[in-house]
Every structure is written in structure tokens, then in C-alpha cells.
Amino acid sequence: MKSLREMDEPELKGYFRSLAGLVEGVLPAGPSSQGRALFALLVFDDPGLAQYVSNCDRSTMVRALRETADRLEGREDIPR
């Protein structure tokens, strides 16, 4: 299999569409257009060049990623 850097745009789109289908297929119920939980999947082989796929709008994804990054930087866990 090619690395992310070696894939061209059509290959990346196809690969990430497949990943999105697999992820969404196993998620619990939620507000997505498919009736599943929202997700954002970040994949990278170099932290400076990440690829992503999500089933939510960009502003929702950015808000979720920012919140997660803040928690990671603060070494915070959310008790359940």
C-alpha cells in the first residue's frame, strides 16, 4: 500500500471515503445524516501533513479538535 504522501488526490479521496464508511458503520446512534455519532478521523505519517475525514461540518470538527487538543495539552481526563 502507498503512503499518504504517495497517494494522489483521487486516491486519497477514495481511501478516506472508505475509511469514513467503515467508521460510521460501527458508531452508536447520533446526529449525523446517517443517524450515527459525529466523528473526525485524523491520519498522518508526518504531523505537519495530516489528512482527515469527518461526517460533520468543518466548524463542528474544528471545535471538537480544539477542545480535544486543549484537554491533551492539559493532561485532562474526563471521568465517566
Note whether residue 52 is domain-resident.
Answer: yes
CA 47 to chain centre: 14
* Strand 40-44 to 50-54 pairing: antiparallel
Within a domain: 51:
yes
**Chain segment 19-70, per-residue pLDDT in tens:** 999 999 999 999 999 999 999 999 998 877 889 999 999 999 999 999 999 9
The boundaries of the domain holding residue 39 are: 4-73
Q: In total, how many domains does the chain have?
A: 1
Q: Does residue 49 contact residue 13 with C-beta atoms inside 8 Å?
A: no
CB 7 within 8 A of CB 18: no
11 in a domain, yes or no?
yes
Residue 28 in 3-state DSSP? Answer: coil
Is there a domain that residue 78 lies in?
no
44 occurs within a structural domain: yes
Which uninterrupted H or E stretch holds 67? helix 58-73
Q: What is the rounded average pLDDT of the residues 75-79?
A: 77
